[in-house]
Structure 1
Amino acid sequence: MKMYVTADEAAQILGVSRGYAYKIIRGLNNELKEKGYRVISGKVPTKYFEEKFYGMAVG
């Protein structure tokens, strides 16, 4: 299992544009920052992505 989901992968999984996927990832990363985690721009941890988008599996 991959550790991170990129914006391109999120766009494909969710069926949205690449730009909107970046907006979603930015929001998820802001949530993680508020919880005290360090984040990587343009990527979100796979486990967190799957928790937030129930029923969406990566890979």
Structure 2
Amino acid sequence: MANYQYMMSADDVAKELDCSKSYAYKLVKAMNKELAEQGYITMAGRIPRAYWAKKMFGYELAAN
């Protein structure tokens, strides 16, 4: 099985955007709030990689 990480940490977000960790935590917190409002269970400091792709780049990741 491939080494695929389903969840992204705030550190991953910071690396992806080349921004500070504090800004990445703000983004993750805002996205988690949106997910919670939709009825999803969230984890502090982490977001689903598929949700990240949809929100930031406008596309959905294909399931392999």
TM-score above 0.5 = yes
The yes-or-no answer on 1:41 pairing with 2:44 is yes
The Cα RMSD (Å) is 1.1
Specify the alignment match of 2:29 in structure 1.
Answer: 26
User: For structure 1, which runs of at least 5 residues remain unmatched after alignment?
Assistant: none
SS of the residue corresponding to residue 41 of structure 1 reads coil
Distance of 1:51 and 1:17 partners within structure 2: 22
Between the two structures, name the one with larger relative contact order (CA 8 Å, sep ≥ 6): 1
Q: Aligned-pair distance for 1:15? A: 1.2
Partner AA of 1:43 in structure 2: R
SS of equivalent to 1:53: helix
Runs of 4 or more consecutive aligned structure 1 residues displaced over 6 Å after TM superposition:
none
Q: Could you tell me how far 1:3 is from its partner in structure 2?
A: 0.6
In 2, the alpha carbon distance for the partners of 1:4 and 1:28 equals: 13
Q: Is the counterpart of residue 8 in structure 1 residue 11 in structure 2? A: yes
State the distance in 1 between where 2:44 and 2:6 align: 14
Q: In terms of Rg, which structure is larger? A: 2
- Name the TM-score, length of structure 2 as normaliser: 0.82
